[in-house]
Amino acid sequence: MSISKLLNQFLGGDGPSSHANQTHNGSGVVSSLANKLPSGLAGGAAAGGVMALLAGNKSARKFAGKAARYGGAALLGGLAFSAYRKWQTQQQPSQANPAQSPQVATSQPDAYAYQAIEKSFKSESVYTENFQLTLVQAMISAAKADGHIDNKEQTRIFNAIEQMDLSHEAKGVIFDLMRQPISVTDIANGAHCIEQKSGVYLASCLAVDLDGPIEQAYLNRLATALALPDELASQLRDQADQAFKTAA
């Protein structure tokens, strides 16, 4: 089974007529991610996204419903890069280089360096199949953080997933992940560079109510496990919040 297909189905972005699918051939795995991520974060069961069933956050569902129209992908990488760039511009020159992506030569002029960084945020070397599975784990874990998915709710979600047009294997993977305890350490172990760490954290922010104290505590633990600088984590949260407001 293709993990890429699992992630796409998880987020409800597997429709043949979606804009994201039209752009998939142009930029590979990550191009499709724009369509993958947002499309499931709020379309509801009618859109086929498992994530829509998990989200207890109305804002996330609205965002996903709007974002699905634009096909998404470059969306996740683009949003993460935007937050990263805002964070970098706030750093002193002496502080910026250590945080810069290892894929980017520090001797490049700023404009060219940022172009290279943006490409790295959307590259296939970042969105490997293992990392895409980590994204699914991260969103499930974040959605469960506030405790609204109790045994009764989990049964309802499982029943709804059973009715979805997913392969038996895909359903099995999702059910297993839903049943398993997933720690922030487990998630952090699946993110190995600043691009992946930013993507995991942003995806988690897009799956929760950012104003909830339980969710905030969870995101703080995740940022610590990912070793994200506080200011970068803040920019990623702001980016998710802005996405919600735009979709409202």
Q: What is the pLDDT of residue 16?
A: 37
Sign of the C-alpha dihedral, residues 4, 161, 72, 192? negative
Arithmetic mean of pLDDT over the chain: 73
Checking if the pLDDT of 2 tops 70, the result is: no
Checking if the pLDDT of 31 tops 80, the result is: no
> What Cα–Cα distance (Å) separates residue 180 from each residue in 97, 173, 183, 186?
39, 11, 10, 11
Q: What is the pLDDT of residue 36?
A: 34
Which tops the pLDDT comparison, 49 or 173?
A: 173
**Helices (H), ranges, 149-229:** 151-162, 168-179, 184-188, 194-205, 213-226
Q: What is the mean predicted confidence (pLDDT) over 48-56? A: 68
Which tops the pLDDT comparison, 49 or 228?
A: 228
Share of the chain above pLDDT 70, in %: 64
Q: What is the mean predicted confidence (pLDDT) over 76-88? A: 88
49-53, 93-97, 192-196: least confidently modelled range: 93-97
CA–CA gap between residue 139 and residue 12 (Å, rounded): 14
Q: What is the pLDDT of residue 57?
A: 67
**Helices (H), ranges, the chain:** 3-10, 19-40, 50-54, 58-67, 75-89, 93-99, 110-121, 129-144, 151-162, 168-179, 184-188, 194-205, 213-226, 230-247
